């Protein structure tokens, strides 16, 4: 299995895709909780439950059905009322993916018996074809050892870094979307421009699948009514009208 730290980091990386302003912070806390709850099945070792049993490690608690049940339970207990920001179905989907992703990460480790994704309908344990992540030892004492340090290095490369890149790419894309709303064409017609927006200096913003170049002279748009939103307003403070170009690679 991957370590609990890395499972939580991966859940927060997924959370970046669902972030909306006004979403309560406890949504992300519960997402991290969902990402580690599957490993409660290790308690079964103390009661004689074998690794490959239905209730064994990487068994039913790592299945898709269990992920759906956990997401539904979290929504029912903690988020009955509609909250600002994230809607009910996107919130449920986030909890579901945070839980499901646990099994997917365990399925790309290089140890154990695989994951019972389709339990209880199919109790066979599956690995994914590619297993680059070193399996984490079970137990806190074993993790804080030389082997645990090697596992953490593997997880930094294959879990932490992709999660950070995912969050960064989502942030850049949303930033690009907000900047695109401020585009002026040389014809002088703004496109979806908010009131009293002032923009200065050249900008270059990277986002998939292209590069958005903002190249212009100092300028601003200060429209207050529907009639004057269709023209630039020149003033000593604003400088000259802007010139911008959009290129897609």
Q: How many CB atoms are located within 10 Å of the residue 187 CB?
A: 6
Q: How many CB atoms are located within 10 Å of the residue 3 CB?
A: 22
Instruction: Find the mean pLDDT for residues 213-222.
Output: 38
Q: What's this model's pTM, rounded to 2 decimal places?
A: 0.70
Q: Which helix (H) or strand (E) holds 199?
A: strand 197-199
Name residue 212's beta-bridge partners.
205
pLDDT-derived band at 86, boundaries 50, 70, 90? confident
pLDDT at 116 > cutoff 90: yes
Give the CB-side neighbour count of residue 83, counting CA atoms within 13 A. Answer: 19
Name residue 190's beta-bridge partners.
184
Query: How long is the chain?
Result: 249
Residue 247 CA to residue 183 CA, distance in Å, equals 13
Instruction: Find the mean pLDDT for residues 26-43.
Output: 94
Give the CB-side neighbour count of residue 243, counting CA atoms within 13 A. Answer: 4
pLDDT at 129 > cutoff 50: yes
152 neighbors 7 (Cβ within 8 angstroms): no
């Amino acid at each position: 299995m991957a370590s609990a730290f890395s499972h939580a980091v991966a859940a927060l990386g997924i959370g970046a895709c669902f972030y909306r302003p006004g979403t309560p912070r406890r949504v992300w806390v519960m997402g991290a909780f969902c990402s580690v709850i599957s490993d409660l099945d290790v308690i079964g070792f103390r009661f004689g439950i074998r690794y490959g049993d239905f209730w064994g490690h990487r068994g039913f608690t790592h299945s898709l059905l269990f992920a759906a049940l956990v997401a539904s339970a979290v929504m029912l207990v903690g988020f009955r009322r509609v909250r600002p920001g994230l809607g009910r179905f996107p919130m449920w989907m986030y909890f579901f993916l945070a839980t499901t992703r646990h099994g997917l990460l365990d399925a790309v480790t290089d140890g154990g018996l695989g994951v019972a994704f389709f339990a209880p309908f199919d109790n066979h344990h599956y690995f994914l074809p590619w297993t680059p992540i070193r399996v984490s030892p079970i137990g806190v004492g074993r993790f804080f050892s030389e082997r645990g340090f090697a596992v953490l290095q593997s997880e930094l490369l294959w879990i932490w870094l992709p999660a950070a890149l995912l969050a960064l790419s989502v942030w850049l894309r949303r930033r690009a979307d907000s900047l695109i709303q401020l585009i002026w064409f040389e014809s002088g017609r703004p496109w979806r421009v908010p009131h009293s927006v002032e923009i200065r200096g050249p900008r270059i913003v990277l986002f998939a699948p292209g590069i958005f170049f903002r190249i212009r002279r100092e300028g601003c748009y200060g429209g207050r009514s529907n009639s004057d939103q269709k023209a630039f307003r020149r003033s000593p403070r604003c400088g000259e009208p802007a010139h911008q170009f959009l290129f897609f690679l």
